[in-house]
């Protein structure tokens, strides 16, 4: 029992939080750039400027990680950031796949190698933190409801579909009048979405007030930003179906997330 306690690290050390600054800043900066300046990002990275909608959706997902992890930097508890770190790990593993597929296809912009190096670094950081805190016991569920379970199941299925399909079958999205001249970008969007799917599955088991808040922030930012950037495309009619799904569903999910987050915060304060 004594040996077990010495290996349990329920708190984040100062240097561990310092390591998390890197993925937090990357998520914020890259997310903002993709959401608000997709054409500029395409120019800088030497990708096709077509399909700015995909750039913006990828940015919305990445921004969710950045916002949640930035808040997590001020947390002392490992459990507060555990699921966010797992989501970032899955995202960057998917990103490694996207990078390698692009490298082996030839005609690789220099930016893909930057993504490759960054993904390797973030996988190492996340893997290190998970290994160090592997023995921290999970708290008992204290915020469980059928509505929350339904919300997480639907979120896991939707994020999984929008993760696996773009990551492994990017050309399928030409059916929606998208060009897919930069399959690397839609694969990166899929990798980011896949991280949310894994987090939603894990949250179904967790359902406690320590781990839920930051992943709800993640989901609120992702869905809210995704819904907002979809509105212009919905009005223009240039892309089939996708904006009509993502705009209303994303904004509705954002509202639900804010309600749930308020309930958790009010219960925790008591």
d(C-alpha 234, C-alpha 240), whole Å: 8
Q: What is the pLDDT of residue 134?
A: 93
Residue 220 has pLDDT above 90, yes or no: yes
Q: What is the pLDDT of residue 140?
A: 86
Least reliable range by pLDDT among 30-44, 135-149, 194-208 = 135-149
Q: What is the pLDDT of residues 110-160, one digit of tens each?
A: 999 999 999 999 999 999 999 999 999 988 888 877 888 888 999 999 999
The CA–CA distances, whole Å, from 227 to 84, 120, 184, 219, 241 equal: 21, 30, 22, 12, 13
Q: What is the pLDDT of residues 62-103, one digit of tens each?
A: 999 999 999 999 999 999 999 999 999 999 999 999 999 999
Q: Please list the residues that pair with 11 across neighbouring strands.
A: 77
DSSP output for 9-71 = --B--HHHHHHHHHHHHHHHHHHHHHHH-HHHHHHHHT--S--HHHHHHHHHHHHHHHHHHHH
Q: Is residue 61 very low, low, confident or very high in pLDDT (cuts 50, 70, 90)?
A: very high
Q: What is the pLDDT of residue 3?
A: 40
d(C-alpha 230, C-alpha 222), whole Å: 12
- The pTM of this model reads 0.94
Please, are residues 126 and 88 in contact by the beta-carbon 8 Å criterion?
yes
The per-residue pLDDT of the chain, averaged, comes to 93
Taking residues 168-197, what's their average pLDDT? 96
Residue 6 has pLDDT above 60, yes or no: no
What ranges do the domains of the chain cover?
Answer: 9-269
Q: Is residue 7 very low, low, confident or very high in pLDDT (cuts 50, 70, 90)?
A: low
Q: Which residues contact 254 (CB under 8 A, 6 or more apart)?
A: 220, 223, 224, 227
């Amino acid at each position: 029992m004594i040996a077990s306690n010495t290996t349990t690290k329920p708190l984040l050390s100062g240097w561990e939080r310092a390591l998390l600054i890197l993925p937090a800043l990357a998520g914020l900066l890259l997310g903002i750039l993709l959401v608000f300046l997709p054409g500029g990002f395409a120019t800088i990275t030497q990708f096709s400027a077509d399909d700015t909608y995909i750039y913006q959706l990828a940015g919305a997902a990445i921004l969710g990680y950045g916002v949640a992890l930035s808040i997590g930097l001020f947390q002392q508890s490992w459990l507060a950031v555990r699921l966010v770190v797992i989501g970032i790990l899955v995202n960057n593993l998917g990103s490694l796949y996207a990078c390698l597929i692009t490298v082996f296809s030839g005609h690789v912009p220099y930016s893909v190698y930057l993504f490759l190096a960054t993904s390797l670094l973030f996988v190492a950081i996340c893997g290190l933190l998970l290994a160090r805190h592997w023995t921290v016991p999970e708290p008992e569920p204290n915020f469980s409801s059928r509505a929350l379970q339904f919300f997480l199941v639907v979120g896991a299925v939707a994020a999984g579909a929008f993760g696996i399909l773009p990551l492994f079958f990017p050309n399928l999205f030409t059916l929606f009048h998208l060009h897919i001249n930069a399959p690397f970008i839609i694969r990166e969007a899929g990798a980011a979405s896949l991280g949310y799917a894994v987090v939603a599955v894990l949250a179904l088991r967790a359902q406690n007030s320590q781990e839920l808040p930051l992943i709800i922030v993640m989901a609120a930012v992702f869905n809210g930003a995704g819904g907002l950037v979809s509105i212009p495309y919905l009005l223009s009619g240039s892309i089939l179906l996708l904006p009509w799904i993502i705009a209303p569903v994303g904004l509705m999910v954002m509202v639900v997330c804010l309600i749930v987050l308020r309930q958790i915060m009010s219960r925790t304060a008591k």
